[in-house]
Structure 1
């Protein structure tokens, strides 16, 4: 379980290791730390009940051209 002290310790450790991050708030009960490293993006949420959730988005190495933007709107619009 992690509270405010653990969040601050985690942020300090990121800074000490020159790892880029930004803070965000998506859910009412959590503070999110977004970490960007080569080929990956991590979302670490510190919740008010002192739990921590980590979600990792890993790049498969593929790149797409501008035509891929059409798929964004086709597949994910309301």
Structure 2
């Protein structure tokens, strides 16, 4: 996945998904992101399974955490 000139990609969740404190389901949830929640992906795990970034919309806006990349899609633009 390419990065923008800002160092992150803009993405959205494809379904409701947990925002986690670390890259895996063993880490605590910081909240649930609703379907189509905006997410700035700043980096990913080595195997690209988890993305770390900032929530940009919805009730968890402004929080940072980890999201499984299985539930993110890249937003063009």
Higher RCO by CA contacts (8 Å cutoff, separation 6 or greater): 2
Q: TM-score, normalised by structure 1?
A: 0.33
More strand, by proportion: 2
Normalising by the residue count of structure 2, what TM-score does the alignment of the two structures yield? Answer: 0.33
**Structure with larger Rg:** 1
Q: Which has more helix, going by share of residues?
A: 1
